[in-house]
A and B are shown apart, each in its own frame.
Chain A
Amino acid sequence: MTMQLSRSDAEDFLIKEAALLDAWKLEEWAELFTEDGEYLVPATDDPDGKPGASLFLIYDDRHRLGERAKRLLKKTAHAESPHSRTRHMTSNVAVGDSSNGTIAVSCNFVVFRSRMEVTNIYPGHAEYLLISNGSGLRIRSKKAVLDVDALRPHGKISIIL
């Protein structure tokens, strides 16, 4: 069946996701995903690589992305203890094709992360597959592709993009 989603509805959803991340409501963020949801970040030197064939930076199934959220909220997740401050900027939202009940949505993003007097910038674009059910939108897949040649000077992705 064909799904209809307006650009502004898609944008509202992505703004809501960004707000959860910046508020460190990470378990609520994980709840946005479907039961078979996944969260992916390819290597910086292979942005078009396929999961399962290329070594990604993040290759989370639904269980792991939920655990990622829980982990980052623990004091023993040292890279984020104390938490960094982040600001997710989302723009250039576009609604693409829909098929098999999923709707492709893409956007550009910039995430600022500040901690211990250092600010790092993560620019990129994200590709989503969203599912609309009676109660709203859910994320089937989120792939965040960074526009950097290496995680330098960042050193790590200890936040959710």
Chain B
Amino acid sequence: MMNGHKASSQELSRLVIDDRRDARFKVHRSAFVSDEILALERERVFGKCWLYLGHSSELKQPGDFISRRVGGRPLLYTRDRDNKLNALYNTCAHRGALVCRERSGNRRAFTCGYHAWTFDEKGRFVGMPGREALPPDATDNCKLDLIHVERLEEFKGFVFVCYDKNAMSLPDYLAGAGEYLAYVADQGAGGMEIVTGTQDYCVGANWKLLQENSADGYHGVPTHSTYFDYLRSRDSTNFATMNSRGWVKNLGNGHAVSESIGLLPWGRPYARWVPGWGEAAKVEVEALNKEIMERLGPERGNVVANGDRNLLIFPNLVVNDVMATTIRTFYPVKPDHMEVSAWCIAPAGESATSRDRRLRNFVEFLGPAGFATPDDVEMLELCQRGYANLEAAPYNDISRGMLSNAPTKTDELQMRTFWRRWRQLVSGDPSLELVGP
């Protein structure tokens, strides 16, 4: 769209048409295909927002580490000898090579393979061959240490980083989404943990399409009818496919949730038994439900145990608490290609039978080989292919529910909430409204 000149703030803000009078909300499809927009997103979105790094349970012992790309940057996530979490840029002070090539492990020292400069798990320079060839003060003031990511904060076990040293605090950033992360943290009496086994995959589509898709109740029936066929066959029940439309809330700062309590047809591993699990499972599921109700009280317990939620944390974190609880994050590699990672989060120390039920239930729908996610991938890729026609057909329509006082999951307030924040950041105009119908 930019025809070679650098887009102005006004031009950028016009990519999103938020017409409240006529209840029309449109997004220009160049936002999904333009290299210039992606460069602006790297600077103004991924360079400024809090991004999910991992869960504190993934590093159990001092010395545990994980190497992980966050916003395209290779990081080292470590638990140090003082039990503190660190996020280090995984790049040697000497020539820049990755100092760690393994995905995970336990170590107190990282030695660069190129010239054997060595750093500890706090990032401190430890040594190099032939130290005497550099001036005596070469290592003073941490000059040769690995560099710490500008900000790292933890919220109820969820660990985030931010590349902007002046960013607001994580709780302020999360705004109303913090409460929803707390519901997940409350599931387990003994805390939560990430289960081993990552679903690492990709989608040949713009990253924003997955944020939209992850809380889109409108596509459930047409895209995923085969999943509902499976549930009917297994549970020998005949339910209306989406018998609750629930509700949607703007949680501030571009975050949103779509939610319903107690009405959907799939089982929940700790709260909602379904016939396909067998009678033996019923006793345990009911006991898990009871434990939550007693620990949290009936009101909060009901929300935690019986609520199905699709939580969107701007820009690219999805916490879906449905037939299992998944954490999903994704980053653009190119305008038309993203890399996705998804994990299962579960109560620490749950029984082997409950864990097994959870993991079976997770992959009945979720993940790149489930009965649903592959079809989402297909749909996003078809959208991306369609954008080759953007000159003739320039806009996406995201208007559903703009006239409603009580928007549901099958409306599109959750997407509009995302796009309003996106528009504000990408255009650099803080006066643009984040709240709207």
Q: Which residues of A contact B (CB under 8 A)?
A: 41-46, 49, 51-59, 61, 63-64, 67-68, 70-71, 74, 76-80, 149-158
Residues in chain A near residue B226, CB distance under 8 A: 71, 74, 76-77
Q: State the main secondary structure of chain B at its contact with A.
A: helix
Chain B: minimal CB distance from A5 (Å):
29
The reply to whether A57 and B367 contact each other, CB–CB distance below 8 Å, is yes
The reply to whether B198 and A45 contact each other, CB–CB distance below 8 Å, is yes
Closest A residue, CB atoms, query B233: A67
Residues in chain A near residue B203, CB distance under 8 A: 155
* B169 touches A (CB below 8 Å): no
Q: Which residues of B contact A (CB under 8 A)?
A: 103, 195-204, 223, 225-226, 229-230, 233-234, 276, 339, 343-344, 352, 355-356, 359-360, 362-364, 367-369, 371, 373-375, 377-379, 381
**What 18 new A-B contacts, CB under 8 Å, besides A151-B368, A157-B374?**
A43-B196, A43-B198, A43-B200, A44-B198, A46-B197, A52-B352, A53-B195, A55-B198, A55-B367, A57-B363, A58-B369, A67-B229, A71-B229, A77-B375, A79-B375, A150-B339, A152-B201, A157-B369
Residues in chain A near residue B343, CB distance under 8 A: 55
Closest A residue, CB atoms, query B234: A63
The reply to whether A51 and B359 contact each other, CB–CB distance below 8 Å, is yes
The reply to whether B200 and A155 contact each other, CB–CB distance below 8 Å, is no
- Given A78-B223, A152-B201, A155-B377, do A53 and B196 touch, yes or no (CB 8 Å)? yes
> A51 CA to B196 CA in the complex, in Å?
11
Residues in chain B near residue A79, CB distance under 8 A: 374-375, 377-378
The reply to whether A56 and B359 contact each other, CB–CB distance below 8 Å, is yes
> Contact partner of A156 among B229, B230, B377, CB < 8 A?
B377
Please name 15 pairs of A and B residues whose Cβ atoms are closer than 8 Å in the assembled complex, sorted by A: A45-B197, A52-B359, A53-B196, A53-B356, A53-B359, A54-B195, A55-B198, A64-B234, A71-B229, A77-B226, A78-B223, A151-B201, A155-B204, A156-B374, A158-B369
Closest B residue, CB atoms, query A152: B202
Chain A: minimal CB distance from B99 (Å):
19
> A101 CA to B225 CA in the complex, in Å?
39
The reply to whether A55 and B199 contact each other, CB–CB distance below 8 Å, is yes
> A55 CA to B341 CA in the complex, in Å?
13
Closest B residue, CB atoms, query A46: B197
Closest A residue, CB atoms, query B204: A155
A-B contact count (CB 8 A): 131
> A79 CA to B343 CA in the complex, in Å?
22
> A150 CA to B371 CA in the complex, in Å?
19
Chain B: minimal CB distance from A122 (Å):
11
> A19 CA to B381 CA in the complex, in Å?
29
Chain B: minimal CB distance from A142 (Å):
14
The reply to whether A59 and B201 contact each other, CB–CB distance below 8 Å, is no
> A149 CA to B148 CA in the complex, in Å?
27
Closest B residue, CB atoms, query A47: B197
Closest A residue, CB atoms, query B225: A76
The reply to whether B378 and A78 contact each other, CB–CB distance below 8 Å, is yes
Chain A: minimal CB distance from B104 (Å):
8
> A45 CA to B227 CA in the complex, in Å?
26
> Contact partner of A59 among B223, B225, B233, B360, CB < 8 A?
B360
- Given A64-B364, A67-B230, A76-B226, do A156 and B369 touch, yes or no (CB 8 Å)? yes
- Given A74-B226, A151-B201, A156-B369, do A55 and B374 touch, yes or no (CB 8 Å)? no
> Contact partner of B355 among A46, A49, A53, A151, CB < 8 A?
A53
Residues in chain B near residue A52, CB distance under 8 A: 352, 355-356, 359-360
Closest A residue, CB atoms, query B342: A55
Interface centre among B363, B368, B375 (most CB of A within 10 A): B368
